[in-house]
Amino acid sequence: MILSPTLYCCRTILRGRCSQTSQRVRQTDAPIIVKTQKLTASASDVVSLAQGIVHWKPPPQAMDAVVASAGDHSLNQYGSGAGLPALVKALQHKLATQNGLDKCEVMVTAGANQAFTNVVLTLLDSASKAVLFKPYYFNHLMAIQMTGGADNVIFGRCDAESWHPDLSWLEQCLQSKDKPTMVVLVNPNNPTGVLMTKDELQRARRLCEAAGVWLIVDNTYEDFTYDGREHTCVSGPNVINIFSMSKAFGMMGWRLGYIAYPDAELAADSELGFQMAKVQDTIPICVTQISQVAALGALEAGSPWVKQQVQGLAKNREAILDALSPLASGKDSGVAGGEGAIYFWAKLPSGCEDDEAVVSWLVKEHKVCVVPGSACGCPGYVRIAFANLEESKCKQAAAQLKQGLQQLVDQGSKLLHTSPASHSGVGTTAAPCEDM
């Protein structure tokens, strides 16, 4: 559209006078998954091992419940901010019987990301400090950034070999005068795919409780554990647990998560639920009610159905682990994960630390996409998902990834310097992972 000189001048003047978008949002990282989706779409026949989703559909009970309730006019109205009473009751039963969390209040949210944002808005002021362990889940950092806390995140260390959070570092951090308001753990971990033990979680809980600090545990991948490992939860007056139904039940688009927090008698702050309800009423008012009906149906299918789906990922895990074998060299293995969640975490070959260029190169040259580690605060690494494709497609993607990684190992950074693909990376930035 061609603007007349008068309209052009008016627009220029208005742009000069109008306020800019907020610094809070400007300081917030751009969503990496949107970037990888655009990168994947930039070339033909690219398969993605980037986004952390599952390939299966919700259980039949979920869809049956939706169909049966389609004519229920009450679902067109606003519902309870905490969630449908029947769903809240069912979740409390699940928390007590499966997670060992008694006397919990529940708030149903539009996914675990909204649950975390509710918690951030409830607990943190703009000057409050929060601990995220590197590598962190990118949406957690984004939630803190956009609420004004971009400059107040304390990045914790993980063990260099196991990638489990360094709790000795946390103990020292909590003893400082300028201690954080809250500590965040993701278990099983996104992006590393490691699983904290019960003893580790209990130690973190005790340290935070003694310091008067909130402990937030994101249990999104609670059902995804392997090789006989088990996920556990901890509770306490200062502990808030976050859960999701997206991955286990294949309900990503239904946007259903929930917060489990101590009731008024047990909570470190008796007004926790009351204050968090303000946030809930301001953002969604209530979660879409038909999604809550689907969740009720999914809970009928329950843990046995989920376990069957997770067991079906065995071949995918094997294929991706084999694809990463070029990066594993004896004791100095560059590959971690596979204990829980749906990810492996891998260190790129020496000379190929520009993970953004590597990701772009893999898309252009080998038709496969992964997430650059810089999106999680650790340049020089990549996150690889193994649940988003059915077995045959995952094997093909793994073969393409293995070929690309072997080429990087053999020929190094000169591939990135000579390939046109290296000039169109995904555009994330982060300090080195060791700088924590």
- Asked if the model's pLDDT at residue 10 lies above 80, the reply is no
Give the model's pLDDT for residue 256: 97
Give the model's pLDDT for residue 413: 76
Structure tokens at 233: 């939860």
- Asked if the model's pLDDT at residue 420 lies above 60, the reply is no
The pLDDT > 90 percentage for the chain reads: 83
pLDDT digits (tens, 9 = 90+) for 264-287: 888 888 999 999 999 999 999 999
Taking a C-beta distance cutoff of 8 angstroms, is the pair 145, 138 a contact? no
Element (H, E) at 335: strand 335-337
Query: What gap in Å lies between CA 219 and CA 373, rounded to an integer?
Result: 21
> Which amino acid, residue 298?
A
Calculate helix-pair angle for 391-411, 314-323, nearest 10 degrees: 10
CA 158 to mean position of chain CA atoms: 17
> Which amino acid, residue 412?
G
- Asked if the model's pLDDT at residue 52 lies above 70, the reply is yes
Give the model's pLDDT for residue 385: 97
pLDDT digits (tens, 9 = 90+) for 346-392: 999 988 999 999 999 999 999 999 999 999 999 999 999 999 999 99
- Asked if the model's pLDDT at residue 151 lies above 70, the reply is yes
Query: What gap in Å lies between CA 384 and CA 251, rounded to an integer?
Result: 21
> Which amino acid, residue 32?
I
Give the model's pLDDT for residue 103: 87
Query: What gap in Å lies between CA 15 and CA 12, rounded to an integer?
Result: 5
Taking a C-beta distance cutoff of 8 angstroms, is the pair 422, 361 a contact? yes
Reported as a pLDDT band with limits 50, 70 and 90, residue 8 is low
**Cα end-to-end span (Å), the chain:** 49
- Asked if the model's pLDDT at residue 80 lies above 70, the reply is yes
